[in-house]
Amino acid sequence: MTSAALAWLCLFLLTPAAPPRPLEPPQAAPTAPQQSAAPRVRLLATGGTISNRVGGRLTAEELIKSVPGLERYARAEAEQFANTASSALTLRQWIELARRINALFTQDPGLAGIVVTSGTDTLEETAYFLNLTIKSDKPVVVVGSMRNPSTLGYEGAANLLQGFRVAADPAARGKGVLVVLNDEINAAREVTKTDALRLQTFQTRGYGLLGVVDDDRVAFYRSVVQRHTSAAEFDVSRFEELPRVDIVLVYQGASGDVIKALVDQGAKGIVIASAGAGATSGSQGDGIRYAVEKKVFVVTSTRTGSGRIAARRREPAADAPPAYRIAAEDLAPLKARILLMLALTRTQDGNEIQRMFTEY
């Protein structure tokens, strides 16, 4: 080995080794993006069978707590509007309920939707009134139950869950007030209670469901084209009470004295639940003439459960002043009464009222 090589070898051996580099800390695994919070949905409880437990009615908070898995779909908020049988709700409470819902949507833009509990006996009436008086496209869903919480097979929690799911779903916007029971979605305008006891009681005869609520998603299949909610012209902030409107059923031998008595007691409108496509019975034609002579509006509907009474058709007592004779189109008598009450808060013009029955 040469002297130069020997010198380099000595220098290498005598040079201290560099300290080992510290190990870098392990990189944290990337975090999965957080899911957005579930939509906020407010429950306005009014009572009804869905809360009518033996020993005391369930509150709005208790109703929410009874629904397992609700947090997956909505952040539920509770508000106790009333807690009574649906038949005990007054027309004044209808107005207050509509005002409350309108105020919630106006004051709380982040609220995704509202669920309203109702007794099933008058559920379709409450829902249709809200359908004509709510000033928002956001979902309002009315639910109830046929069995009470103390009964085996109580379906209230399931109906509440499905109602919250629909109210939280963006696809429900703009479809008007909806009725959700038995995993089915019906329009407030069209739905009716068809059976006193069965769970599948709420149906839309002739037109069918708007959609269904299944495990995977809320599925809509059609919409209602008649005016409703934000497109409606009725304003509950402008009146404190609804004009009196009564319903008279047509049956064989029915007397017109009933119609006259209602007029004399202050009715501003009468809805005739006619046989078939407008037929009356007994002396009801005389009663109708008496009503229109007193400037009481008479709306002809049908008791059959479906079908249309067309405007300008010739009906019994057609010689009566036409300005006070209105055709209900396809509205059932219960719904025709609600529309006439609201129409009378805006106008006394028969042509305008007929327009409303055509558009709503």
CATH at residue 144: 3.40.50.1170
Q: Most distant CA pair in the chain: distance in Å?
A: 140
Domain assignment of residue 239, yes or no = no
Domain assignment of residue 9, yes or no = no
How many residues are given for the chain? 360
Amino acid 33: pLDDT:
39
- Cβ contact 247:235 at 8 Å: no
Amino acid 324: pLDDT:
97
CB atoms within 10 A of CB 117: 30
How buried is residue 282: exposed, middle or buried, by Cβ count under 10 Å (0-12/13-18/19+)?
A: middle
- Residue type present at position 276: G
Q: Does residue 120 carry a catalytic annotation?
A: no
Q: Are 350 and 329 part of one and the same domain?
A: yes
CB atoms within 10 A of CB 287: 25
Q: Are 179 and 260 part of one and the same domain?
A: no
How buried is residue 216: exposed, middle or buried, by Cβ count under 10 Å (0-12/13-18/19+)?
A: exposed
Nearest residue to 321 (alpha-carbon basis) of 346, 296, 355 = 296
Given the structure tokens 């029955």, which residue do they identify? 357
Q: Which helix (H) or strand (E) holds 293?
A: helix 284-293
> Which of 204, 231, 258 is at the close of a domain?
231
The string of DSSP codes covering 225-259 is -S--GGG----GGG-SSPPPEEEEE--TT--THHH
Q: Are 250 and 227 part of one and the same domain?
A: no
Nearest residue to 133 (alpha-carbon basis) of 193, 169, 91, 167 = 91
Amino acid 30: pLDDT:
43
Nearest residue to 354 (alpha-carbon basis) of 334, 329, 335, 330 = 329
Number of independent structural domains in the chain: 2
Q: Are 208 and 250 part of one and the same domain?
A: no
- Cβ contact 327:271 at 8 Å: no
- Cβ contact 326:350 at 8 Å: yes
Q: Are 226 and 313 part of one and the same domain?
A: no
> Which of 231, 263, 288 is at the close of a domain?
231
Domain assignment of residue 343, yes or no = yes
- Cβ contact 269:239 at 8 Å: no
Amino acid 321: pLDDT:
57
The catalytically annotated residue of 46, 49, 300, 302 is 49
Secondary structure (3-state) at 114: strand
- Cβ contact 259:290 at 8 Å: yes
DSSP letter (8 states) at residue 275: B
Amino acid 236: pLDDT:
98
Amino acid 10: pLDDT:
43
Q: How far apart are CA 264 and CA 82, in angstroms?
A: 34
Amino acid 21: pLDDT:
52
Determine phi and psi for 145, rounding to 5 degrees.
Answer: -155, 155
Q: Which domain holds residue 274?
A: 244-359
> How far lies 75's CA from each of 43, 66, 265, in Å?
10, 14, 48
Q: Are 94 and 219 part of one and the same domain?
A: yes
Q: Are 177 and 123 part of one and the same domain?
A: yes
Q: Are 304 and 347 part of one and the same domain?
A: yes
Domain assignment of residue 336, yes or no = yes
- Written as tens digits, the pLDDT of the chain (360 aa) is 555 444 444 444 444 554 545 545 555 444 443 446 999 999 999 999 999 999 999 999 999 999 999 999 999 999 999 999 999 999 999 999 999 999 999 999 999 999 999 999 999 999 999 999 999 999 999 999 999 999 999 999 999 999 999 999 999 999 999 999 999 999 999 999 999 999 999 999 999 999 999 999 999 999 999 999 999 999 999 999 999 999 999 999 999 999 999 999 999 999 999 999 999 999 999 999 999 999 999 999 999 999 999 987 545 455 555 689 999 999 999 999 999 999 999 999 999 999 999 999
Q: Are 59 and 206 part of one and the same domain?
A: yes
Q: How far apart are CA 216 and CA 272, in angstroms?
A: 44
Nearest residue to 175 (alpha-carbon basis) of 214, 209, 215, 124 = 209
Domain assignment of residue 7, yes or no = no
Amino acid 319: pLDDT:
54
Domain assignment of residue 25, yes or no = no
Q: What is the CATH number of the domain that holds 255?
A: 3.40.50.40
Q: Are 198 and 278 part of one and the same domain?
A: no
> Which of 185, 204, 231 is at the close of a domain?
231
Domain assignment of residue 20, yes or no = no
Amino acid 36: pLDDT:
66
Q: How far apart are CA 224 and CA 81, in angstroms?
A: 28
Nearest residue to 76 (alpha-carbon basis) of 33, 45, 107 = 45
Domain assignment of residue 15, yes or no = no
- Cβ contact 135:174 at 8 Å: no
Q: Are 176 and 273 part of one and the same domain?
A: no
Q: Are 265 and 160 part of one and the same domain?
A: no
Amino acid 290: pLDDT:
98
